[in-house]
Amino acid sequence: MRVIVCGAGQVGSTIARHLASEGNDVTVVDIAPEQARRIDENYDVRGMEGHAAHPEVLQRAGADGADMLIAVTRSDEVNMVACQVAYSLFKVRRRIARVRHHGYLRPIWRALYGSDQLPIDVLISPEIEVATGIARRLRTPGAFDTVSLADGRVQLLGVHCNTAGCRMIGKRLMDLPTMLPHHDFVVMAIVRQGKAFVPAGRDAIEPNDDIYLVTEPAQADRVLAFLGHRERPAHRLVIVGGGNVGLTLARELGRSAPLVSLTVIESGRSRAEFVSRELGKVAVVLHGDALDREVLREANAGTADTIVAVTNDDETNIFSSALAKREGCGRAVTLVNKSSYEPILPALGIDAVVSPNAITISTILRHVRPRSISALYNLREDFGEVVETVAQPGSRLVSGALHDIGLPRGMLVGAVVRGEEVIIPHGTFRIEPGDHVIALITYAALHEAEELLAGAQAPADA
């Protein structure tokens, strides 16, 4: 597949690296010469300087024979026009654009993106997806990450194993059935000291491990309690930042959790006045700097259940969260773009980190993968993905019991949805065509896994 990626920022670079590693022909266009040169030198892709919406630039990038264009520059307008040019002049079959400004995203303007208008097949709004993801996490406060799969029938949870009440610490995964009868969850991945791996039955959970597991939503509270987490959903919440993410989150909580007491802190006076008008009685809006302890105290952050810091500045988010925790706030959910900050965040009291780039990357990859994959969540950029796929007739996946079909090393099936039933499978379980399968696939195993899912038969023994 030939792909043009417009924009060589963190999202564009990561997408290009993923696609190139899977054998695709990738060209990345960026208006900044140093960005184009960096990606050309560091990745197995072609980096090219130029304005991504200009026809001659896209022509030089190979748009005449491209299968897909992914536009993730910093400009919404450039992304949209690049899709228009790719469709109208070069007949590029599939076009994906990142659009941030809420004015382009209102439901009444959806007709703008039809094939006879602005021909964008997939419109990605990181701010809306981030706000929706945070709202999900607030409903499951014992988890630092949560993703809904299989139309809400299966839940992926990320959980810190760092509490005295975690019964799994020091125990092997194979011992789980004797510890928790009718255990209805599967540990898909363990992150230990910054390194992720797919666990085997003999692996034991160690203090301060982070684990990713799948379970049914109805079992989530029971599973979290078993792992030492009995946190209650927040009733008093402080949101730092009244930008698109903060405003969207406040609106969502106003609809889904009207009894939650909300306070929004916004540093810009005109923006604070706008947010106050938009939210009305949904939230109290304060104008001030969240790094000022007096402003935090005016917002009663010290007695709040949770602070959610979602400004455009990583440092403001991190340090306002840390200050609120020192004042007595129960939990901090913090938006951080720079992955280099990740190792220090737990020491600062950050309970859950939200990465807009990771969310955007997951969304884009979901639309790039084979059509049989209906959902995808990127766990870590250097590790792998949790995918939801439909088992295809004739595929190796349905050719026998799980322990007989030759799952590649680095692939783990965590749950199967058959009709309305959610099944936690064991080695003797047989997947049937049409089943929805939730699986972890590491990037090292991606090619083998795609062959297995697509129905390619294993080569005969020599």
Low-confidence ranges of the chain (pLDDT < 70): 183, 370-372, 455-462
pLDDT value of position 427? 87
Nearest to 242 by CA among 294, 332, 312: 312
Half-sphere exposure of 48 (CA within 13 A, CB side): 21
Rounded distance between C-alpha atoms, residue 191 and residue 340, angstroms: 16
Q: 384-435 pLDDT, tens per residue?
A: 999 999 999 989 999 999 999 999 999 999 999 999 899 999 889 999 999 9
The dihedral built from the CA positions of residue 288, 294, 299 and 304, taken in this order, carries a sign that is: positive
pLDDT value of position 112? 86
Rounded distance between C-alpha atoms, residue 299 and residue 259, angstroms: 18
Question: What is the fold, at CATH topology level, of the domain defined by 2-124?
Answer: Rossmann fold (3.40.50)
Nearest to 31 by CA among 56, 48, 55: 48
For 294, counting Cβ atoms within 10 Å of its Cβ (0-12 exposed, 13-18 middle, 19+ buried), the class is: exposed
DSSP H or E stretch at residue 47: strand 46-49
Angle at 125 between CA 124 and CA 129, to 5 degrees: 105
Angle at 169 between CA 179 and CA 306, to 5 degrees: 105
Strand partners, 252: none
Give 236-354's CATH code, choosing from 3.80.10.10, 3.90.1200.10, 3.40.190.10, 3.40.50.720: 3.40.50.720
The yes-or-no answer to whether 2-124 and 236-354 have a common fold is: yes
Contact 203, 173 (CB under 8 A): yes
Q: Which residues lie below 8 Å from residue 168, measured CB to CB, with a gap of 6+?
A: 161, 176, 179, 205, 211, 226, 227
Q: Is 273 helix (H, G, I), strand (E, B) or coil?
A: helix
Nearest to 89 by CA among 63, 114, 118: 63
Contact 346, 323 (CB under 8 A): no
The structure tokens listed for 86 are 């790719």
Rounded distance between C-alpha atoms, residue 13 and residue 456, angstroms: 31
pLDDT value of position 457? 45
Contact 435, 153 (CB under 8 A): no
Half-sphere exposure of 447 (CA within 13 A, CB side): 8
The count of residues in the chain is 462
Q: Which residues lie below 8 Å from residue 75, measured CB to CB, with a gap of 6+?
A: none
What's at 235, amino acid-wise? H
Strands in 93-229 per DSSP E: 94-98, 122-124, 145-149, 154-161, 185-192, 195-197, 209-215
What's at 21, amino acid-wise? S
CATH number of 369-454: 3.30.70.1450
Q: Where are the domains of the chain?
A: 2-124, 140-226, 236-354, 369-454
The dihedral built from the CA positions of residue 346, 347, 351 and 355, taken in this order, carries a sign that is: negative
* Superfamily covering domain 140-226: Regulator of K+ conductance, C-terminal domain (3.30.70.1450)
Residue found under tokens 């079959």: 93
pLDDT value of position 455? 60
What separation in angstroms does the CA of 329 have from each of 92, 230, 265, 301?
A: 51, 17, 15, 6
pLDDT value of position 458? 42
State how far Cα 45 lies from the chain centre.
24
Q: Which residues of 264-281 are buried (b: 16+ CB within 10 A; e: fewer)?
A: bbbbeeebbeebbeebee
The structure tokens listed for 389 are 């796929």
Tell me how crowded residue 460 is: count the other CB atoms within 10 A of its CB: 5
Q: φ and ψ at 352, to 5 degrees? A: -145, 130
The dihedral built from the CA positions of residue 362, 438, 335 and 245, taken in this order, carries a sign that is: positive
Nearest to 184 by CA among 422, 390, 411, 412: 422
Residue found under tokens 């989530």: 220
Nearest to 105 by CA among 119, 126, 125: 125
Contact 20, 46 (CB under 8 A): no
Rounded distance between C-alpha atoms, residue 397 and residue 406, angstroms: 9
